Amino acid sequence: MLMRWQLAYPFQPIPIIGEWLGDTRAPGGIMLPEFYNQLGAMHGTIMVFLGVVPLAVGGFGNFVLPLQIGAPDMAFPKLNMMSYWSFFMGGVVMLASFFVPGGAANSGWTSYAPLSVIATTGQTVWLVGMIFLITSSLLGSVNFIVTAVQLRAPGLSFMRLPFFVWAQLVTSFLLLLAFPPLEAAGVLQLMDRVAGTSFFLPSGLVVGDAPLEVSGGGSPLLWQHLFWFLAHPEVYVLILPAMGIVAEIIANNTRKPIWGYRLLIGSVIFLGFMSFVVWAHHMFMTGMGTTMSTFFQTTTMIISIPSVLILSALLLSLYGGSIRFTVPMLFALAFLPMFGIGGLTGLPLGLAAPDIHLHDTYYVIGHFHYVVAPGTLLALFGGIYYWFPKATGRKMNDLLGRIHFWGSFIAINIVFMPMFIQGLSGMNRRMADGGLEYSMNEDVLIWNTVISMGAWTLGLFQLPFIFNFFWSIKKGERVGNNPWKATTLEWSAPSPPPHGNFIEPPEVHRGPYDYSVPGSEVDFLMQTDADGPQAEPAKG
Amino acid sequence: MSENVDEIRAHIKLYWKIGAALMVLTVVTVAITFIDFSVPIAIFVALVVAATKGSLVASYFMHLIGERKWILGTLLLTVLFFLVLIFIPIMGHSDTYGRHVTVPNANAESPSEVAH
Amino acid sequence: MDIPYIVQERPDTGLTNVKLGIWLFLASEVMLFGGLFSTYILLRINAVDWPLGSDILNVPIGTFNTVVLISSSVTMVMCYAALKLDDLAGYKKYMAATIGLSVLFLGVKLYEYVDKFSHGDYPSGSTFLAIYFTLTGLHALHIVSGVVVNGYFLGPGAALWNTNKEQFINRIEAAGLYWHFVDLVWIFLFPVLYLL
């Protein structure tokens, strides 16, 4: 929100907060460009590594996954604790970086060399923080995979798993295999900064009129390769748990099985696999050569197929459903068109030719925010409303939930839709003055103010949510095991679950979405229900 | 543990033999450097010998022979992505292998050369 | 409810939790060193000239260290075999040997590093030295961690043998897998850095 002030009202004093920022960041309340850059880099880092991943994977995964597979706990509880404390340390380090001389990291969350190598101390702190966070994810992913493979309840075959579990399983493989090269790269950049090596510094680099006193011979492109090798699978880490959450909520609130269960599983596995071979579509403008560009352009186009299949399956799941517009369902429904926009706007970026015009513009910012913010974040909100009763034994307030939804949904589109317009006219990203200096931006500068208004409105509408969340823990309407009348295993456990999750070890007799089974006398059958007709094997 | 004492003792004998083989191959690793290969061939030969040693460690010491599907499957996936990580950045140079690229430089007195 | 399959294998996967867990961890380690090997390759391809490893590094010392580490892998697998034969004394003997050989390896490595530093050869000196120190340094850190874990299993950790032999054997097997992996990385590191 501070960034949005600077973009909407460049070089004007920030009200109230401006005084607290101090002279190194905002003398006279006016944000320094250096500080804007810190905010930019840390906003990305914090949102991705301290926000979405810990919430979607660490939070939802750790809580819901063992319950959904009928397990008493995660496979390695002590490892889980280590993973949490590593995350905590990483968070402390990252936040502390704002207070070191020179401020926090300011070379973008992407930390491209050589700028990041010669940047202020905050960058070193960033690298240390990343090593903690990466370690946390690695340990967590081992735990998730072993839990999902080994601790499934009797009768819970892989093809009876809720889609949420499949999504988390693939996500964990992505984290396991993609993060380590970034950890290696982080170590290398640390060496460059602290030990004077030149892994990423080319020969003959001149900074401030003086040649750098290093051996040279390094490659800035090397950093990009290693960074994006992780960071591309990372974005699928950000979206897959959300897709899982949406699937669960849709099945529950349409009172029918998800359409195309097998197709969904095949698609999510294929998507996970392909995510490892598309990374250099972030590097089309580096002069890699046409062979590389063609290769990555092709793989990127191919990866859009499973994404579309997943979205289509979720959409088709609505057809013929008996839709209940509960608060979680509102968020899940909103996810669908939002992810659609995010995904579709990715296509011109994934093709090398249009990317020439769009690279590093606000179009990119619009694209990825659409998938993560109106996409994943809305889905995560839905998940919170959905599983809150399981975790606390109480429901969140319905009216506040609806206010939160509608306000957020409208505001979030006001924030991110205009960015496409700005980007298409060529407005660059990461500019502290909001694009003032370039005359080509003249016509689209007005949108800066609109977006900022939208952002502050969005922030305001989170207040009912925060209040609702904490108030409902104490005063929410009490509920039993299965307030949503859902089929999956977590709803067999008490709310909240005791140590060991289940009173008695569950036995699974049917698939995950036995709603409205033909020939059944009841509306839905839980996975533990032995009696009653079986649904036909999943189609699609 | 389903193995009986005789099977374990047979394994132990095998481990010693593998250990000996690894020592021999280590000597080979160093000895072949005295043969004057060209750089690409030298790299290839060194990697072949290392891969042989590595396979012995993996197959016998790490028991990959007869290991379960989940383990082998995970490793296969890993090896695949490992190869992607190793080879694809090299592809970035494939457009310029073996070619001298002359780039006109407005400021220089003579054309600058970027060679690979 | 207790967590199942800590000692018993799960029937359909045939695995214990720790077996799957350690292999997954090793898979991530393959990718970690893969990132560094990829770095080596890219830096070498980009370099105007790249020194011959044997011109900068001491091959006999490197060879000696290779023999030491492979021996430690042999003694490590003998630990596991001894436990399967119900021979705690044999296990302790071989584990002590493994740790001893590891410390010897680290000692030799330290000597190599100090020798380099005393000649003014720091990682900042060239990209070859940079990748050499980083690769061997990270590898050495893995050995240190292995020594700590193995030391624990030789010392206080061995108490588990008295209460749950099967679980202890599983843990030693996992520690062994990690150790063999460390050896495997060196099997590639040695020729790549010292000989090519």
Q: Per-residue pLDDT tens for A482-511?
A: 999 999 999 999 989 999 899 888 999 999
C9, C20, C184, best to mutate vs chain B, most B CBs in 10 Å:
C184
Answer whether residue A355 shows pLDDT above 80: yes
Interface contacts A/C by beta carbons within 8 Å: 132
Residue C66: is its pLDDT beyond 70?
Answer: yes
Question: Residue ranges of the alpha helices (H) in A97-162?
Answer: 115-118, 122-150
Per domain, the residue ranges of chain A are: 1-31, 325-392+397-475
Residues B77 and B58 in one domain: no
Mean pLDDT of C84-92: 94
Amino acid, single-letter form, for residue A503? I
| Nearest CB to A218; choose among C10, C29, C127 | C127
- Best CA proximity match to A356, nearest among A421, A285, A286: A285
Domain ranges of chain C: 17-195
CA distance A238 to A380: 10
Contacting A with CB below 8 Å, chain C residues are 1-5, 10, 13, 15, 17, 20-21, 24-25, 27-29, 31-36, 38-39, 42-43, 46-48, 122-127, 130-131, 133-134, 138
Count of domains observed in chain B = 2
Confidence of residue B2 (pLDDT cuts 50, 70, 90): low
Task: Tell whether A225 lies on the interface with B, counting CB pairs under 8 A.
Answer: yes
Chains that touch A (3 or more CB pairs under 8 A): B, C
pLDDT digits (tens, 9 = 90+) for A394-445: 999 999 999 999 999 999 999 999 999 999 999 999 988 888 888 888 889 9
Question: Taking the domain C17-195, which CATH number applies?
Answer: 1.20.120.80
Same domain, B4 and B56: yes
pLDDT of the residue at A338: 97
| pLDDT tops 70 at residue A539 | no
The residue in chain C having the minimum alpha-carbon distance to the alpha carbon of residue A229 is C35
Flag if B89 and A225 touch (Cβ within 8 Å). yes
Distance CA A374, CA A416 (A): 9
- Tell me the CA distances in angstroms from A483 to A133, A493, C31, one per residue in order: 36, 12, 44
Q: What is the pLDDT of residue B89?
A: 76
Confidence of residue A540 (pLDDT cuts 50, 70, 90): very low
B98 to chain A: which residues are within 8 Å by CB?
none
Q: Which residue of A has its CA nearest to C50?
A: A217
CA distances from C177 to A136, B49, C15, C24 (A): 22, 21, 15, 11
Question: What pLDDT is attached to residue A13?
Answer: 81
* Chain B: closest CA distance from residue C12 (Å): 10
Residue A201 has pLDDT above 70, yes or no: yes
Residue B105 has what pLDDT?
52
> What residue numbers bound the domain in which B19 lies?
1-67
CB pair distance less than 8 Å for B89 and C187: no
C73 close contact with B: CB closer than 8 A = yes
Contact B77 A173 (CB under 8 A): yes
Cα A501–A504–A505 angle (5° rounding)? 80
Tell me, yes or no, whether B111 and B80 share the same domain.
yes
- pLDDT tens readout for residues C131-171: 999 999 999 999 999 999 999 999 999 999 999 999 999 99
Mean pLDDT lowest for which of A67-71, A118-122, B90-94, B102-106?
Answer: B102-106
Instruction: Say whether pLDDT at B110 is over 50.
Output: no
Q: Cβ–Cβ of C191/B93 closer than 8 Å? A: no
Tell me what the mean pLDDT of segment A254-269 comes to: 95
Decide if A295 and B91 are in contact by the 8 Å CB cutoff.
yes
Contact C70 B19 (CB under 8 A): yes
Residues of chain A contacting residue B81, judged by C-beta atoms under 8 Å apart: 177-178, 276
User: pLDDT at position B114, please?
Assistant: 43
Nearest to A482 by CA among A518, A522, A517, A519: A522
How far apart, in whole angstroms, are the C-alpha atoms of residue A491 and residue A501?
11
pLDDT beyond 70 at A56: yes
Determine the pLDDT at residue A265.
96
pLDDT band for position B71 (cuts 50, 70, 90):
very high
A221 touches chain B (CB under 8 A): yes
Question: Is A343 a residue whose pLDDT tops 90?
Answer: yes
Instruction: Indicate if the pLDDT at residue A188 is higher than 60.
Output: yes
Residue B112: band (very low, low, confident or very high) from pLDDT cuts 50, 70, 90: very low
pLDDT, position A333: 97
Choosing from B49, B67, B85, the residue where a domain stops is B67
- Residue A24 banded pLDDT, cuts 50, 70, 90: confident
Cis, bond preceding A374 (omega within 30 deg of 0): no
Residues B56 and B3 in one domain: yes
Q: Do B20 and B10 fall into the same domain?
A: yes
Q: Classify burial at A442, counting beta carbons within 10 Å of its beta carbon; exposed 0-12, middle 13-18, buried 19 or more.
A: exposed
Residue A223 in this model has a pLDDT that exceeds 50:
yes
Name the pTM for this structure: 0.92
- What pLDDT score was predicted for residue A440? 85
A210-230 mean pLDDT? 89
Give the single-character DSSP code of A395. Answer: E
pLDDT digits (tens, 9 = 90+) for A318-332: 999 999 999 999 999
For A297, counting Cβ atoms within 10 Å of its Cβ (0-12 exposed, 13-18 middle, 19+ buried), the class is buried
DSSP assignment letter at A440: G
Is the CB of C35 less than 8 angstroms away from the CB of A184?
Answer: yes
